[in-house]
Amino acid sequence: MSNSSNQKIKQNLLLEIVIFLLLQISIFIIFIIVNFSLQGFEDNLFPFFMMFGLFIFIVLYSLARLYSFWKKPSQSKHFIFKLLHRNSIMCIMLFFWFIYINLFYVWLIKTPNVTVKLCGSATLGEKFAPHFIEAIAFDHGANKIKKSDNKDKNNITIDANFSNNKDKKDNPFQGLVRFIVNYGGTNDGIEKLKQNKCDIALASEDVDIEKNDFDRVLLGQDTIAIIVNDNKNKTLHNFDSQKIKSILENQQDNNKDEQWQVFCREKSGTTDTIIKKLELQDKGASFLNNCSKVTTNKEMWDKVTTTNKDGKPSIGYLSYSFLVDKYSSDRKKYLTTIDNQKPVDLLSNYFKYTDKLDDKLDDIYFTNNKYKLNRELSFYTHRVFNSTQLNNINNIIDSIRKDAGFLGQKILKSEGFVSVSLDGITANQNPKDEKDKQYKLETMEKIYKEIIRKRNKPIYTQDFLEGYTTIKDQKDLDEWLSTQNNNTEFVLIGHASSVGSPTYNLGLSSLRAQYIGDILLKKDYKNVKLYAFGNEYNSEETKGPRVEIYDLKEIDKIYKEINSATNQ
């Protein structure tokens, strides 16, 4: 074959290969654009790498054949060279087009209709959120649920399949709904919510909702346990808070016997609570610079309980809920008390009469209000939804918020947290001290109805933000209290809005009354009666989350009037 013929064959072959590669590159770029526009790469790496691998194979195969025939164009009679001829190459391209289309179709039908992203607290993300999401999915009719846990990335993906109902307005759960739980810490979750990178932030500390324009749903309460591994001391540890503070701040250098291995978690609401409640210096700078970092509560437990290097004791902290499933011997060995206060009290110890309680209730506890490291657990969402996804994601987020008030309470208790509802159940028990008798709840309800009928006003009303059981600024309350006599006996009645289940709202109103009651007790008001009515008494004149304060003398007067009218 002449040189001119060989040259022409090379030119044609080169042109065909270039066209072939350009077409394949175009297909791959189109796939990338579609993939990114639907969900973004972070949730779809598998189909991305699958297509990328196929593309690389095609390129290498084509280049290998091109090199072979470039060296010996005279072998053009061979079958493989004919396949690369202008007519045959179109068949090859159509074949690969067919593969691409089928792979893309298989991937597309697995693309979720909606993706809901939850991010934030490791305490909630590790234990509560996955079980809560699964329960919500089953409750809304999911016929299949698949969960995958990527612990390296602190990420859990839950795919829930729902049948496609005709009436989509009433049921936002349609087709495949994907829930992604990322537990990188409370601060990380709040930042992602601000940047619209997630739909719901999980938080184990308070967040300024006014500054960030967030809505809050109070889930429950938790307490942070300090755990210690000290072979020299086999008994239950009891430290005062100043001792723990000095250990965490690494101020034990002068005494070799007192040197500790300190473990901590960065970007964590749990860590923030430790820093705030123990008042660590420079916002915990020394503590965070010198501690050994861990990522999760589980890792914290594993590190502290297995690390005792050179005989040095080790110390760390985690949510008490992670100790609920541990053997009691392990809790006794590693758990500490702070200032002689245990993190929790058993429910059976709270009731005056325990013989009527179900035995299963003995392991249910509530937080010890005197313990130093208590905190609240919450959901945060945007007040105005900013998600760019399908519209019904807003309805799904609303469903999650509503379910947190009932279904979420069950999950919380099962995971070892203290639910808001549980506090509602225990709030109105009769006091143990017979000298401190107060009106029964049924009697107080009659009195309150009479107060409403007469349009009597409380002597002070403290308003609360929706979902909150604390107030940020008590300046007005302090100013009012400065005008009151310390011998005054107060009656506090907590209320909630109509958002959430009755049991949930009862718990919220109870926590609010307890919060104001604690403020009064600290100011030496010795006799304070607490009641909680949830959202039972909401009218145009009296509505919203609040605590009403009454003088006990006024309550006694109304009670006598009711009795007098009944006896006539």
The average pLDDT across 520-542 equals: 79
Query: Is 314 a residue whose pLDDT tops 70?
Result: yes
In angstroms, the CA 118 to CA 193 distance is 9
CB 458: neighbour CB atoms within 10 A? 18
Q: Tell me, what's the pLDDT at 49?
A: 58
Q: Tell me, what's the pLDDT at 337?
A: 87
Query: Is 521 a residue whose pLDDT tops 50?
Result: yes
**Residue 542 DSSP symbol:** S
Query: Is 89 a residue whose pLDDT tops 90?
Result: no
CA distances from 368 to 340, 374, 378 (A): 12, 8, 19
Same domain flag for 324 and 398: no
By percentage, how much of the chain surpasses pLDDT 70?
66
Query: Is 222 a residue whose pLDDT tops 80?
Result: yes
Residue 62's domain comprises 3-109
Q: Which two tokens stand for residue 185?
A: 């810490």
The average pLDDT across 224-246 equals: 80
Q: Tell me, what's the pLDDT at 357?
A: 36
Query: Residue 365: pLDDT band by 50, 70, 90 thresholds?
Result: low
Same domain flag for 232 and 360: yes
Overall number of domains in the chain: 4
pLDDT tens digits for range 290-306 = 899 998 888 999 999 88
Same domain flag for 153 and 268: no
* Mean of pLDDT over the chain: 75
pLDDT tens digits for range 44-88 = 555 555 566 666 666 666 666 666 666 665 555 444 455 555 545
Contacts of residue 387, defined as CB under 8 A and 6 or more positions apart, other chains included, come to 196, 199, 393, 394
Q: Which of 109, 140, 174 finishes a domain?
A: 109
Same domain flag for 96 and 120: no
In angstroms, the CA 239 to CA 303 distance is 21
Query: Is 93 a residue whose pLDDT tops 80?
Result: no
In-domain check, residue 204: yes
pLDDT tens digits for range 68-77 = 666 665 555 4
More confident residue, 383 or 180: 180
CB 255: neighbour CB atoms within 10 A? 7
| Phi then psi dihedrals of residue 326, to 5 deg | -80, 155
Same domain flag for 296 and 410: no
More confident residue, 361 or 266: 266
Query: Is 363 a residue whose pLDDT tops 60?
Result: no
Same domain flag for 236 and 207: no
In-domain check, residue 423: no
Q: Tell me, what's the pLDDT at 462?
A: 92
Same domain flag for 95 and 209: no
CA 190 to chain CA centroid, nearest Å: 11
The average pLDDT across 166-172 equals: 61
Closest to 536 in 3D by CA, of 500, 557, 565, 506: 506
Query: Is 181 a residue whose pLDDT tops 90?
Result: yes
Same domain flag for 436 and 482: yes
Pick the most confident of 105-114, 326-335, 407-416, 419-428: 326-335
In-domain check, residue 527: yes
In-domain check, residue 327: yes
More confident residue, 315 or 539: 315
In angstroms, the CA 317 to CA 119 distance is 21
Quickly list H helices, 39-157.
45-71, 79-83, 86-109, 122-123, 129-139
Q: Which of 89, 109, 129 finishes a domain?
A: 109
Q: What does the longest C-alpha to C-alpha distance in the chain come to?
A: 129
Q: Tell me, what's the pLDDT at 118?
A: 93
The average pLDDT across 245-263 equals: 75
Same domain flag for 260 and 285: yes
Query: Is 3 a residue whose pLDDT tops 50?
Result: yes
The average pLDDT across 379-395 equals: 67
Query: Is 549 a residue whose pLDDT tops 90?
Result: yes
Look up residue 296 and give its amino acid. Answer: T
By percentage, how much of the chain surpasses pLDDT 90?
9
Same domain flag for 121 and 182: yes
DSSP code string of 129-150:
HHHHHHHHHHHTT-SEEEEEEE
Query: Residue 547: pLDDT band by 50, 70, 90 thresholds?
Result: very high
CATH code of 461's domain: 3.30.1330.60
**Residue 172 DSSP symbol:** -
The average pLDDT across 419-435 equals: 45
In-domain check, residue 118: yes
Query: Residue 264: pLDDT band by 50, 70, 90 thresholds?
Result: very high
In-domain check, residue 206: yes
The average pLDDT across 328-341 equals: 85
Q: Which of 58, 84, 109 finishes a domain?
A: 109
Same domain flag for 534 and 469: yes
Same domain flag for 282 and 195: no
CATH code of 179's domain: 3.40.190.10
| Phi then psi dihedrals of residue 315, to 5 deg | -140, 145
